Amino acid sequence: MNAADCLFCKIVVREIPAQIVYEDDNVLAFLDINPINPGHTLVIPKKHSKDIFEIDYAEWTAVMRAARVIAHALETALKTDGINLGMNNRAGAGQVVFHAHVHVIPRFEGDPHKLWRGKPYAEGEFAATGDKIRAALNK
């Protein structure tokens, strides 16, 4: 997708309305229209990049810094009991809007949102998986 056709780029230039809650030189944060809980906020780089694979380190650092600022604001404003951060990267991980964004999700004791459920490794898979990842990192 070209930045000109990108929904979130249109929010950056105010072509599409949004509940913008934070802005700095590199980052915009606005309310997700379909929240897990009220206050669920998306933090995006202003410069278009698709996902965690494409975003450069300076933009990523700015996004993560802003996510922490938003986490504090949600706690103060909404009296949250906790905060989840999430990011879907590529269709295989459920990404729907292909402009990188981090979800900052307010959580409340007893809310119905469910996190993932882990499953145990098969025999030998634990160490083998560690080996594969270490090999990729040492390339």
- Residue 96's binding partner, choosing from Zn ion, ligand AMP, none, with beta-carbon cut-off 5 to 8 A by kind? ligand AMP
Is residue 113 flagged as an active site residue?
Answer: no
**Looking at beta carbons, which pairs linking 19-24 to residues 24 or more positions away fall under 8 Å?**
21/70, 21/73, 22/66, 22/69, 22/70, 22/73, 24/62, 24/66
**101 lies in the binding site for Zn ion (CB under 5 A):** no
Cβ closest to ligand AMP, residue 44 vs residue 71: 44
The label of the residue with tokens 């933090």 reads 43
Helices (H), the chain: 7-12, 57-78, 125-137
Label the pairing between strands 41-45 and 27-31: antiparallel
- Residue 18's binding partner, choosing from ligand AMP, Zn ion, none, with beta-carbon cut-off 5 to 8 A by kind? ligand AMP
**66 lies in the binding site for Zn ion (CB under 5 A):** no
74 φ, ψ (degrees, to nearest 5): -65, -40
Q: Give me the residues that bind ligand AMP (CB under 6 A), please.
A: 7, 16, 18, 30, 32-34, 42, 88, 94-97, 101
Residues 40, 48, 99, 101: which is the catalytic one? 101
Q: Which parts of this chain interact with Zn ion (CB under 5 A)?
A: 3, 6, 8-9, 48, 99
* Catalytic center residues: 101
